[in-house]
Amino acid sequence: YILKDLHGYVLPHADTKYTGSIISHTLRFKPSKKFTTIIIIYYPYSDKPNVYNKYYHEYYVPFKCLEYVVKKQWKIKRKITYTGINIKENQSYSSIDNNTLIVVSADFSHFLPFEEAIELENKAAHSIMFRNLNITNYNSIIDDSKSFKLLYNIIPNDWILQWIGRTRSSGLKGVGYLSFLIRDK
């Protein structure tokens, strides 16, 4: 589906065993704008790059998923530049232009019982959709809310998050993965 007002995504960064379906569900929505840059905002868990000693996992998963979809599914031939913003190193960035697609790499609840996790994730999802990042028990499950703070500083106030998907890793105490589209109001 091509959307005229699509400016980016919130995507999980877990193993595609758990997130493949949510990422494909989310990336079936293609922006109509002719972007040449994809910025991925991420908060790395480890202190050093942990994928090929070059990338952080939280950047690498959405980067590789987007790279594949852009080339193979969307069949975009123009050169796309991928840029990561590591929140541990840089918590500021100027505004983005119309040639940029913006992505937040984020997971949600980690290792909570299912019912508790779902309740907290629902509240956190609604909270970030309304740009409310106050310190609460439900916002504390966002991995990591600093990424959303930066997002809200660089995107226009009339862009919104549209929650479109959820999945979880296996087990009674899994990890929650939510996805969102970043669109015009």
Segment 145-159 shows an average pLDDT of 95
pLDDT at 80: 98
pLDDT at 15: 76
Q: How many CB atoms neighbour CB 23 within 10 A?
A: 26
Model confidence at 90, pLDDT cuts 50, 70, 90, reads confident
Tokens of 177: 């993965």
- The tens digit of pLDDT for each residue in 1-56 reads 999 999 999 999 987 777 778 888 999 999 999 999 999 999 999 999 999 999 99
Model confidence at 148, pLDDT cuts 50, 70, 90, reads very high
Q: In whole numbers, what is the pLDDT of the chain averaged over residues? A: 93
Separation between Cα atoms, residue 38 and residue 48, nearest integer Å: 23
Q: Is the pLDDT of residue 171 over 90?
A: no
pLDDT at 16: 73
Q: What is the model's pTM?
A: 0.95
Between residues 174 and 76, the one the model is more confident about? 76
Segment 123-151 shows an average pLDDT of 95
Is the four-CA dihedral 51, 57, 63, 69 of positive or negative sign?
positive
SS3 of 160, please? strand
